[in-house]
Structure 1
Amino acid sequence: MTMTKQLTLKEKWLQDRPFLEEIARFHEVIETILDQVPFKVEKMKNLDAAKDEFNRGIPVLKCEHVTVPIFEQACQALKALTSLADYKEVPEPFRASCSSLGKVMEQDEAFIRAVIHSLMNEDYQTLGEIIEKHQLNEGIIWFLGWTALSYVLQPHLSELQQWERQQSWNREYCPTCGALPNMAQLKRSNKGRKRHLICGCCRSQWLYKRMGCPYCKNEDPNLLRIMEINEEEDIRVDVCNSCNSYIKVYTNKGEEEAALLDWMTLHLDLLLKERGYVKMGTHLINI
């Protein structure tokens, strides 16, 4: 008797979109590397002590009165990711940049901590100075740094998001790290479908008003429109003709594991770019 392999959600998604196979192999290597990084998940402390700061609009990772214990783990993860230089599945320019990054880390012990600290605190001026000093690729440092941070933050996200919802965060930027969203999902509720934004860096989710551009706050219905994609039954694109931006929206449920990963819909970013729209959400992969 022949046994049929049960495809995972990601495998099914990729089977229907074979043009994503190359970038999928790249992300599989990243997952393999990060899964081998040993780190202990420490309990968060004093979340409630951050209420005043948080309610003033300060994201959790930047609140002075709470510590999310991910800094050391993120440094370990970022260091591990330099081994991407050793994998043939990784594009050659990326491998070369990872090799250069690894050498810098060996020569400058403070470098890796400075990168993670700058990303967590949105100190992009310092980050730019560090990158320029060592003549590294800014896009790759950004990608690797946030890939590391997002990975070590995942065990804390459920607790963080539950607390953030209790505080009724309703701003357009991420309540956890402060980045702008790059995707959204419509979720059913007793009062109809509600829009949840998804962070482009740490993958946090938060409730946001159904109508309106999360980038320029435009609410003029004459300047907002929905773009349906023939090839993507459960993904639509909300565009804003005020700031010329767009956000990809997953309109179903059950395939979040694949549908809410930005790189799984890169073909839509290319399509929108051809049509003159700008990807304004914070994202790790430049198109």
Structure 2
Amino acid sequence: MAVSCQSVEETIAGILARRPVLGPVLNAFGPLLEARASLPETLKPLLESAGLRLPDMRGERASQGVPLLADESLKGIDAPLRAAAEVMLPLLAEQEAVKPYAAKLRGFFLGSGEPDGPAMPPLDALAESVLREDAPVLEKTAVGIGVPPEVLLFAFGFMLGPVLRALAAMRPGGDGKDAPWNAEGAWRQGYCPVCGSNPSIAYLERPVFEEKNAYLAGGGGKKHLHCSLCGTDWVFRRGACPSCGKEGNDVMEMLRESKNAQGERLDWCTKCKTYCPSVDLRERDTTPNLDALALGLLHLDMVAAKKGLHPINPSFWNTF
């Protein structure tokens, strides 16, 4: 299972206690993150009924950097997506960027309102186009329903995300340390082995102790990336850039507060100037919800923007 132990609410409360200035952003996005975290359990039966499951990982495709869902059919995902939309759309409608288009989005995803424009692709086709980064399909759909492409992608991500998280969690063993992509050298890419999305945050793990033998232990510090869409965690090389793949002693630098950082920082690449938020769990007493913590590092996003750095996973809250 995922590393996060605290709930979204608990993590946000901890952030606000230290940085109350982030209240407007955290209070605006918090309900979306809470709903996305709770939805997967209710979506699993719908995915099971549709016969959807993650394909097995194949070594040759993994070595070529092909995510599991890269060319898989998502036929049958419409019902889970609509169930997610029922919950997420009212919350999305509260976002300033989405509010003007709320009725059109509801009409498209839930079939209410008057049809406008050409026939739209089914939701499974839209989901496949997002995972395959097929921009023309997304843009055509956005134009057809009268919504800017970036707004459609943002809103759809909050519906597709819980569905993919449920799909990943249904795999035997969940998406934790025993997942096949975390086997030594199995997956070396900086994008998600399941859905191909970029990470929203990284973490360095705590010391690991072998339950069957107390004398066998690891010092911790192994780096993991956390997928911004499906929530999968995977092991990644500490000295490498997830974006451009360059690695070496002079590639990755760190940006963090001088005091009371609690392991929070940005890891940025000196070559391509991208960065990824990160947290060193060895410096914390609790394990935060990673999605909420990524949002709570907005103050470092602002510093990074002034330095001319770019987020590896751009969103409405970290692009200025």
- Normalised to the residue count of structure 1, the TM-score between the two structures is 0.80
Equivalent position of 1:57 in the other structure? 65
8 A contact 1:60–1:177 mirrored in 2:
yes
Which one is further off, 252-261 or 209-218? 252-261
Q: CA deviation at 1:41?
A: 4.8
Which one is further off, 218-227 or 47-56? 47-56
**Per the alignment, do residues 270 and 257 of structure 1 end up closer, same or farther by CA in structure 2, a change over 3 Å counting?**
same
Equivalent position of 2:189 in the other structure? 171
Matched ranges for 1:1-287 at <5 A = 8-30=10-32, 39=43, 40-43=45-48, 45=53, 47-48=55-56, 53-64=61-72, 70-78=77-85, 80-84=87-91, 90-105=94-109, 106=112, 107=115, 110-111=120-121, 113=123, 114-158=125-169, 159=171, 161=175, 162-166=179-183, 168-188=186-206, 189=208, 190=218, 192-230=220-258, 232-252=261-281, 254-257=286-289, 261-281=293-313, 283=315, 285-287=317-319
Q: CA deviation at 1:175?
A: 0.3
Number of residues paired by the alignment? 277
8 A contact 1:187–1:251 mirrored in 2:
yes
Q: CA deviation at 1:49?
A: 7.2
Distance of 2:63 and 2:250 partners within structure 1 = 32
Helix, strand or coil: the match of 1:131? helix
**Per the alignment, do residues 179 and 222 of structure 1 end up closer, same or farther by CA in structure 2, a change over 3 Å counting?**
same
Q: CA deviation at 1:101?
A: 1.9
8 A contact 1:179–1:282 mirrored in 2:
no
8 A contact 2:142–2:148 mirrored in 1:
yes
Superposed CA offset, 1:98-122 (max 9, x none)? 2232244532684561433322333
Distance of 1:15 and 1:127 partners within structure 2 = 40
8 A contact 2:47–2:53 mirrored in 1:
no
Structure ranking higher in helix proportion: 1
The aligned amino acid for 1:10 is I
Distance of 1:163 and 1:67 partners within structure 2 = 21
8 A contact 1:61–1:68 mirrored in 2:
no
Helix, strand or coil: the match of 1:193? coil
Distance of 2:92 and 2:251 partners within structure 1 = 45
Helix, strand or coil: the match of 1:221? coil
Distance of 1:270 and 1:276 partners within structure 2 = 10
8 A contact 2:257–2:265 mirrored in 1:
yes
**Per the alignment, do residues 232 and 174 of structure 1 end up closer, same or farther by CA in structure 2, a change over 3 Å counting?**
same
Q: CA deviation at 1:243?
A: 0.8
The aligned amino acid for 2:288 is E
**Per the alignment, do residues 227 and 248 of structure 1 end up closer, same or farther by CA in structure 2, a change over 3 Å counting?**
same
Instruction: Let me know the Cα RMSD of the aligned residues.
Output: 3.3
Distance of 2:62 and 2:83 partners within structure 1 = 28
Higher normalized contact order (CA 8 Å, seq sep 6+, divided by chain length): 2
Please identify runs of 4+ aligned residues in structure 1 that moved more than 6 A. Answer: 66-69
Q: CA deviation at 1:92?
A: 3.9
Distance of 2:34 and 2:236 partners within structure 1 = 34
Distance of 2:267 and 2:57 partners within structure 1 = 37
- Normalised to the residue count of structure 2, the TM-score between the two structures is 0.73
8 A contact 1:104–1:111 mirrored in 2:
no
